[in-house]
Structure 1
Amino acid sequence: MKDYARKFYKSAAWRKCRDAYFLSQHGLCERCSDPGLIVHHKIYISPENINDPSITLNPKNLELLCQTCHNQEHHGKSEVVRNGLRFDENGNLISI
């Protein structure tokens, strides 16, 4: 987690928003319908928008994702995440 976001993600406002959004999606990933795990910001949080609740706490900017779909969102199909490792098309970490 980025240092600038740490305080936000520990805030009561985020926890309340995250939990309400999770329930509104019945706990299911919005992309594949597997059990959801991560409430993801469609517009990524940045130092410039971290204090803008229309970005950080807006349900229209949120998406419930499972770990695999979240990995695909952030790491794509072929991005090398560590020397000799990348995510495959299913979001699984594989050796290359």
Structure 2
Amino acid sequence: MNRSAEVEAFYVSWKWRRCRKAYAESVGKICEECLKEGVIETGSKENPLETHHKIELTDENINDPNITLNWDNLELLCKKHHDMKRKKKEKRWKIGPDGHVTV
């Protein structure tokens, strides 16, 4: 994933670290998607829990705390579910230098 320096800096900030920790504790440190499936996943070394932004952070919204730090824009996911959500957002095609679409 290509992130700008400003977005990368946010993800190592004390504000984000404090927010993601408090959010994880508020949902019981359980993957929210696994819980919907009736499974309790508390994370492990192989499948860690990650706090996911539903609305992806960009240069345009990085300074908006309603996007970056708002719990309504967060969900706690295991690595499996987090990777699945990220893959859905990735383009499955691109336009090459010759103007043709490639998969």
TM tier relative to shorter chain: 0.7 to 0.9
Structure 2 unaligned regions, length at least 5: 36-40, 44-48, 93-103
Report runs of 4+ in structure 1 exceeding 3 Å deviation. none
Q: Which moved more, 1:3-12 or 1:66-75?
A: 3-12
TM-score (norm 2): 0.69
Q: Is the helix fraction higher in 1 or 2?
A: 2
Shift, 1:35, TM fit: 2.0
Q: What is the 5 A alignment of 1:22-61?
A: 22-33=24-35, 34-36=41-43, 37-61=49-73
Alpha-carbon distance between aligned partners in 2 of 1:65 and 1:4, rounded to the nearest angstrom = 24
Count of residue pairs the alignment pairs up: 78
Structure 1 unaligned regions, length at least 5: 81-96
The structure whose Rg is larger is 2
Q: Which amino acid aligns with 2:63?
A: N
Q: What is the 5 A alignment of 1:1-96?
A: 2=3, 3-33=5-35, 34-36=41-43, 37-76=49-88
TM-score (norm 1): 0.74
Over the aligned positions, Cα root-mean-square deviation in angstroms equals: 1.6
Q: Which has the higher contact order (CA 8 A, sep 6+)?
A: 2
Q: Is the strand fraction higher in 1 or 2?
A: 1
